[in-house]
Amino acid sequence: MFEDKTLVCKDCGEEFVFTAREQEFYESKGFVNEPQRCKPCRDKRKNAARGPREMHEAVCAACGGVARVPFAPREDRPVYCSECFAKMKETEAPAEVEAE
């Protein structure tokens, strides 16, 4: 039903392929317009709109060191530095799977 189409990016003017699989995905989501930008230009626009992340400093609940996090820490929740957070993830036991 769908066939690959070659489109021209409206930002850089380069040709890119709108694959049959992408067209099928667009239709399943109810999108009616074809993409107007190639993947690199879409990514560039997405990253430009996002802007730099605001980082906040907090005291790590495990080691007492400085933790820089991309959210405003709350007093009622512990905050961990990158190293302590990674150690916690390594030592977490996998969830038990119930047998049916």
Query: Taking a C-beta distance cutoff of 8 angstroms, is the pair 69, 56 a contact?
Result: yes
Q: What are the pLDDT digits (tens) for 34-79? A: 999 999 999 999 887 777 788 999 999 999 999 999 899 998 999 9
Q: Taking the alpha carbons of 38, 44, 50, 55 in that order, is the dihedral positive or negative?
A: positive
d(CA 91, CA 76): 23
| Domain extent listing, the chain | 5-50, 56-91
d(CA 6, CA 12): 15
d(CA 56, CA 90): 25
pLDDT of residue 99: 47
